[in-house]
Homo-oligomer: A and B are copies of this chain.
């Protein structure tokens, strides 16, 4: 009665929504990647590495691939030597920014 706009009791619909969301932006690094691309714009691969000291090579490329597969980021490759690749948010990627803002705000206010 308190949340008329959200119907969730139809067998697991709630869990699916929340878990789907977590599967897309959960984990240790995805939110940080999305944040940098969302707030600062386009970044190259090694720029992202520098912005996230602590992330490993493997994690960065893996998470970038997953985010691209989920349609949250664009990967633009220039066929030059040396290689050059630019990452940016898609429209869908920008749609998660409200979640980021809400979480970031909560994190600041609660220790």
Contact = CB atoms under 8 A, between A and B. Distances in A.
Interface residues of A, number: 39
Interface in A2-34: 2-3, 6, 8, 12, 14-22, 24, 26, 28, 31-32
A21 B31 CA distance: 11
B15 A52 contact: yes
A35 interface: yes
Nearest to A17: B107
A55 B99 CA distance: 25
Interface of A: 2-3, 6, 8, 12, 14-22, 24, 26, 28, 31-32, 35, 39, 52-53, 92, 95-96, 98-104, 106-111
